[in-house]
Amino acid sequence: MPTFEELKPMLRPDGIHNGVMTVDKDKCTSCGLCVQNCPFRCWEMDVNNHPKLKDEYLCFSCYNCMIACPVKAVSIVQNFQVKEGFFDTDFPEVKMPLEPKDAEGNSVQWTETERLIMERRTVRNFKKDPVPESFLSRVLEAGRFAPSGGNHQPWKFTVVTDPGFISQLEEAVQSVWAGTYGACTNDEVVMNLVNVLPTGVFDPRVQYGIRCIAKKELSVYFSAPAIVFIGCNDKMTNPEMHAGICGQNMNLAAISLGLGFVWNNFGGVGVNQIPELKAKLGFGDSWTVQTSFCLGYPKFKQKGLVPRHFRPVTWFRPGIDGA
């Protein structure tokens, strides 16, 4: 069994370069939407009612603050990177989407589907209005018709639209993560988690997410009017991949219906820690909740183009010896 000192590079990683954003105060109208749209609550208002980054924060460069700003006052100074240590996974620069070209190499417009994919952003702020059941049904159908290995279709869905039950779920799953946060921050207790959790859980971005949920700065289910849980049968292959493909079908279908969508693994995975709740949701023995997502009408604009990692692609073309 390794010691804490040996595992310290993973459990208390260094080399982290925080994301840095800035606000053009001449353009800013102090509407506060960037502050509301930041999942990790990185911003606060300064004495002049303009957003400024808090003294202590973790920005993982999602750019959701930027796309919420109606006057384009938010811009990027520095992208989140880990440049040394355990979680240095070779962070590339970020770039906006490349210009679309037709088969002859001429500039063209994106197709409707491409635009939907590019402008899709996570929605974490919802109106209270319920999602019509006909729309929920169309979203579920998009999942049911997803591809799967061997056509296994290993998934099962549970929909929760009862506000009372959603509040119970929020409270119960928030407690799970509050407990996990306590364990993760204690040098001795965290050792109990090392053998049961995958390495990625100790990534600083995941750890900060757990912290935000524990401190109730990040909601588990975002007071959304509808939650969908995706579970897969344990006897079938690649459950995470299947839930992901199935869920992304539902994500795109939801946006096409004018709905907002947030994946919430914290909500999905957290439920597995509470067996009674997992069973109540319809995932008994042999079933594991792989993820969940929330749906609702967006409270304000939460979509738009952002840059993303531009990692070199290895490409073998005809007539060229090698990559």
Residues that bind ligand FMN (CB under 6 A): 39, 62, 64, 121-122, 124, 262-266, 291
CB of 83 to ligand FMN, least distance (A): 20
What's the rounded Cα separation, in Å, for the pair 46 and 72?
19
Task: Please say which residue, 72 or 144, places its beta carbon nearer to ligand SF4.
Answer: 72
Name the token pair of 49. Answer: 């009612």
133-144 and 239-256 helices, crossing angle to 10°: 140
Task: Please say which residue, 153 or 219, places its beta carbon nearer to ligand FMN.
Answer: 219
The entry of ligand FMN, ligand SF4, none near residue 243 (CB within 5 to 8 angstroms by kind) is none
The entry of ligand FMN, ligand SF4, none near residue 291 (CB within 5 to 8 angstroms by kind) is ligand FMN
What's the rounded Cα separation, in Å, for the pair 224 and 302?
15
The entry of ligand FMN, ligand SF4, none near residue 264 (CB within 5 to 8 angstroms by kind) is ligand FMN
3-class secondary structure, 162: coil
Question: Is 306 among the residues that bind ligand SF4 (CB under 6 A)?
Answer: no
CB of 124 to ligand FMN, least distance (A): 6
3-class secondary structure, 53: strand
CB of 212 to ligand SF4, least distance (A): 10
Distances (CA, A) of 94 to 70, 149, 293, 307: 23, 33, 27, 6
Q: Are the CB atoms for 298 and 128 separated by under 8 Å?
A: no
Beta bridge partners of 94: 309
The entry of ligand FMN, ligand SF4, none near residue 266 (CB within 5 to 8 angstroms by kind) is ligand FMN
- Alpha-helix residue ranges (DSSP H) falling in the chain: 4-11, 33-37, 64-68, 112-119, 133-144, 163-185, 191-194, 204-214, 239-256, 265-271, 275-280
Whose tokens are 């493909």? That residue is: 245
Best CA proximity match to 125, nearest among 24, 218, 16: 218
Task: Please say which residue, 32 or 130, places its beta carbon nearer to ligand SF4.
Answer: 32
The entry of ligand FMN, ligand SF4, none near residue 122 (CB within 5 to 8 angstroms by kind) is ligand FMN
User: Which of the residues 21 through 60 are near ligand SF4 (CB under 6 A)?
Assistant: 21, 23, 28-34, 38, 40, 42, 51, 59-60
3-class secondary structure, 191: helix
The entry of ligand FMN, ligand SF4, none near residue 265 (CB within 5 to 8 angstroms by kind) is ligand FMN
CB of 115 to ligand SF4, least distance (A): 22
Question: Is 111 among the residues that bind ligand SF4 (CB under 6 A)?
Answer: no
CB of 140 to ligand FMN, least distance (A): 18
Binding site for ligand SF4 (CB under 6 A): 19, 21, 23, 28-34, 38, 40, 42, 51, 59-65, 68-69, 71, 73-74
